[in-house]
Structure 1
């Protein structure tokens, strides 16, 4: 799948979650159950992990999903248990980018934001020492594009004032 297809899939899944709690069923959401949405989100995350080595945007979205799956309730996000192999691949790809100085300002800023919840990435300490990569903690937030970025875009749009 392409990044655009994945972003569209995420928006559809998120709409399904909202519709479950609004009691609305439409032809777009096909009446998926929360469990089906969570399984589909696991598949989306797996797709991001396949792309994350070569595509920094896929890495950012996959990392966001991992963080969001721990910090927010799954009945709100539609994201529940993810595939551990895919999670570890994204963290490994993140480490490679950082080690090779290929992480852009946005990725570093996002990672520092996620690390405010210090427990989120504890299970990956065997791959990367997150406390050693925090850089420019007080740096200005970059201009984060929110369109066509799936649930990550929705999240950043909701907490930023433009």
Structure 2
């Protein structure tokens, strides 16, 4: 498992800020129909949750892709911090404690992977899904609020997997 550095967290927060700035409809529009505008954040939020799952408890090819994405994000963020603002590279941000996925939870993540691939290629929300998953990978192992969200997500996926696979 690759741990996130300050550079990786910076990349994750940058992706989140980019998405919120891209989404922001304006105060007047948000006041007139808040539920409709908030619904546009759902694809990003679902993909963020998926990204958190892949970086925390999944091995194999999916885990390798998530770890590689985190490693590249750490490197990009560290380079940006060093050359952009004169920071230091390689400092590991606080690591979150996480709940590993069960075998059934891993099956759900595999199913979600197939769904995410199809949706990112076929819908108008493909960019939102890709950006959300990347943000989830970057922030999933941080010890902040994003890291604390990982435990309930893992519990929910394990519960869903136990329910689904228990029915067969």
> Structures share a fold, TM > 0.5?
no
Q: TM-score, normalised by structure 1?
A: 0.29
| Greater Rg by CA | 2
> Greater helix percent: which structure?
2
TM-score normalised by length of structure 2: 0.28
Higher relative contact order (CA 8 A, sep 6+): 2
